[in-house]
Amino acid sequence: MGTAKTEGALFEQAVANLLAVSSRQLVPTSADDPFDFAFEDVQGRRTAVEVRTGSTSPAYFGRLAAKSWRVSGKVHALWLVTPDEPSQGRLFQFRKAFRDHPLAVEWLGSTGFQRRLGLEPLPLNSEEAFAALGAAAAVRRLPVKHQHSLNLPPADSSRPWAYMLQAAGSSQDLAVLMTLESRLGRNALDDLPDAGSAAEYLRLGAKTEGVVTLMSDLQNFSTVVRVARPEDVTDAMARYYRRSRDIVQRHGGFLHQFTGDGLVALFGYPRASPEAAQSAIRAAAELRLLGDEILSGLTERMNEDIDTGTRVGITTDDIWALNSAEYGIEPAFIGNGLNLAARLQTLCAVDGVLIDNRTYNSVRHANPGLVRSLHPSRIDIPADYVKGQLTPIVAWQISPEATAQFAKSSAPTELGA
């Protein structure tokens, strides 16, 4: 199946997919939630899920119990989910760490987790199995009208995901819908009549005006990776990818791609939005909070002092959407706004947000109060500092302090809602 890091990332996603397949009502996670997932049962009781693919030592159990106190008044139970079933000795150490803890805690291996969800266990022993499970989860997440359009056979109540596995990989419509769901989120697909209209919906081959591009990355993350334990990096980045995807899509963005420790997102695409610039700034502030959480979780286990943080560049310009797939749909984008966003991200103050003049003025006219609260400072960037530009560029720096204050005042706290 590949390296331990690859297997760990696959297992993290498998847990998410199993929760989706079992129709658990997931609660969106926020920076205040220390765990990977949370879901509600029919009585409204919440269960937190912690996924661990690395070592499970008594020290880890102690850290897990300590952070569990942060949500003890908000959730009813905690599940620790690992690829392998726990040994009796490890299970004793786990229970000892949670002695007198108010949460109902369980440690579940892959098989036990699936049974706990009411599913017939699927052996997760190959990339093909993970891919099939991913397709099954994608079908579950689709709006009902798209599920019906796939013409799947009736579900077997004893194996609620098996019928979807039979269709997985054989339907081009399913592949298209999976691509769109991963980029836009489930709710956005309500506007799509059917998979056959996806190219038109995405405006492939056409220009879209006034698209806001957001690019972010974690500074010096390659240095962090060299120092940190591989299993810690795997766990941290799995959480980063999940949370950042949710942040972008919750603010109406199109997640174009992850770039290692960064991402590229578009706002006001494929449908224009008068609030695209504001949405991008709000998403950027939440990404800053997320970066703080991810990085602090890694660096607190190091002696090395590494200068790191989140940098975000935001621009507004026209883009052209193209289809890079030989079969199906895989959107790709070109345009000066993407190039400039990459340059602004590089020039941005660490833990701040650097926006171009078009984005600044769009927000200033639409929401003057927001601009005043952010206190942006104008900077003039020489053309030779911004590769690909023919003239100097006017940009506006939102300071790390203003970004943090704005992020904390506007970020959601769903788990404590």
Residue 17: which CATH number? 3.40.1350.10
How far is it, in rounded angstroms, from Cα 398 to Cα 281? 10
Let me know if residue 18 belongs to a domain. Answer: yes
Let me know if residue 156 belongs to a domain. Answer: no
Let me know if residue 260 belongs to a domain. Answer: yes
Q: Are residues 121 and 246 in the same domain?
A: no
Backbone phi and psi for residue 145, each to the nearest 5 degrees, phi listed first: -60, -35
Number of domains in the chain: 2
Among residues 125, 151, 172, the one where a domain terminates is: 125
Check residue 33 and give its pLDDT.
64
Backbone phi and psi for residue 256, each to the nearest 5 degrees, phi listed first: -70, -55
The one-character DSSP state at 35 is S
CA 408 to each of CA 106, 153, 378: distance values in angstroms, whole numbers, following the listed order: 32, 47, 24
Residue numbers of the chain with a pLDDT score lower than 50: 1-6, 157-158, 160, 163, 169-170, 413-417
Q: Are residues 275 and 398 in the same domain?
A: yes
**Taking the model in full, what pTM does it have?**
0.76
Check residue 413 and give its pLDDT.
45
Let me know if residue 354 belongs to a domain. Answer: yes
Full domain range(s) for residue 19: 4-125
Q: Are residues 319 and 206 in the same domain?
A: yes
Among residues 125, 140, 157, the one where a domain terminates is: 125
Check residue 197 and give its pLDDT.
79
Residue 35 near residue 76, CB atoms below 8 Å: no
Among residues 125, 142, 175, the one where a domain terminates is: 125
Listed in sequence order, the residues at least 6 apart from 149 whose beta carbon sits closer than 8 Å to its beta carbon are 173, 194, 195
- CA 113, 117, 122: angle at the middle one, nearest 5? 60
DSSP E strand stretches across 69-119? 77-81, 104-108
Let me know if residue 286 belongs to a domain. Answer: yes
